[in-house]
Amino acid sequence: MSKTFVVTGTDTGIGKTVFSAALVQALDAHYWKPVQSGLEEETDSELVARLAGAEPVRILPEAWKLKTPASPHLAAQIDGVEIDPLALVPPQLERPLVIEGAGGLLVPLTRRITYADVFARWQLPTILCARTALGTINHTLLSLEAMRVRRIPVLGVVFIGDEVRDSQAIISELGMVRVLGRLPKLDRLDTETLRQAFSAHFDMDDFVGEKA
C-alpha cells in the first residue's frame, strides 16, 4: 500500500502548499486538499498543480470547496453547508498521497470538531511545517504538544524560510522532534527551482525509506 502523508503547519500562509507541491513532485504523489476556503485567488490544488507539474488527474477533488476565505467552520456556515468531518476519509491509491489541512492544527471544521481531531482519527504520518522567523519556537512547540496530546503521529518538522540555526536546534531539542529539512524562501518559485531546493535540503529516505 502506498504511503499517505498529512501536511499541517503552525499557521496559515506559511508555505504548507509550496512544501506539499515539492513533496508531490519528489514522490510522484497525488495531492488532496479536503477543505478549500476561498475560491477567488488561486486555490491550493491549483498552486500544487502549477508548481509540481502534476497532471490534473493526480489532484484529487476537494471534499468541500467554500467561497469565503475564512476558517472552514465559518466559511461553511456562510455558504450554507455543513462539513461532515467523518466523511473525510483518505482514499487508498496506487501512488503516495499528500494531504494538506487548512491553517493550523486547531482550525475548526465545524463548531465542535477541529482538523486535529480528524488527524488523530487518521493516524497517518503527519508533517508539521513551521516558519524559521521570529515567533516560531513558541508556535512550533505548542503545535507539537497539541499533536502529542491527541496521539497524532509526528513524522517531523519542516522549516520554511531562511536558516535560523538556534531556533531550529531548540525546537528539535525541546520538542524532541526530527527535523526533516528546511525549504528556503525561493526568489523564483517554479517547478524547477522547487525540485532543486527539495533535493538539496531533504533526504528522500525520510519519506520512502525505513525511517518514514
Ligand X SMILES: Nc1ncnc2c1ncn2[C@@H]1O[C@H](COP(=O)(O)OP(=O)(O)OP(=O)(O)O)[C@@H](O)[C@H]1O
Contacting residues toward ligand X, per CB under 6 A = 9, 12-18, 44, 102-103, 160, 183, 185-186, 189
Task: Confirm or deny that 102 is annotated as ligand binding.
Answer: yes
Closest of 22, 10, 34 to residue 206, by C-alpha = 22
Tell me the closest approach of the beta carbon of residue 54 to ligand X, in angstroms.
15
Task: Cell numbers for 23, please give them.
Answer: 513533496
Helix ranges (H only) for the chain are 16-27, 44-52, 72-79, 115-122, 136-149, 165-174, 191-201, 205-208
Could you tell me the smallest distance in angstroms from the CB atom of residue 119 to ligand X?
15
Q: Which helix (H) or strand (E) holds 206?
A: helix 205-208
Q: Which does 160 bind (CB under 5 to 8 A by kind): ligand X, Mg ion, none?
A: ligand X
Give the shortest CB-104-to-ligand X separation in angstroms. Answer: 8
- Interior/surface letters 32-49, b for 16+ CB within 10 angstroms, e for the rest: bbbbbbbeeeebbbbbbb
- Parallel, antiparallel or unpaired: strands 179-183 and 35-37: unpaired
CA angle 209, 12, 199 (to 5 degrees): 30
Q: How far is the CB of 210 from ligand X (least distance, A)?
A: 28
Looking at residue 89, the DSSP 8-state letter turns out to be -
Give the active site residue among 3, 33, 65, 67. 33
Q: Does 45 bind Mg ion (CB under 5 A)?
A: no
67 in active site = no
Exactly one of 4, 10, 17, 43 binds Mg ion (CB under 5 A); that residue is: 17
Q: Which residues contact 188 (CB under 8 A, 6 or more apart)?
A: none
Binding to Mg ion, residues 87-126 (CB under 5 A) = none
The binder of 138, among Mg ion, ligand X, none, by C-beta within 5 to 8 A per type, is: none
Residue from the set 9, 16, 144, 158 that interacts with Mg ion by CB under 5 A: 16
| Cβ–Cβ < 8 Å for 212, 29 | no
Interface residues toward Mg ion, by CB under 5 A: 16-17, 44
Active site residues: 33
Binding site members: 13-18, 37, 44, 100-103, 184-186
Binding site members for Mg(2+): 17, 44, 100
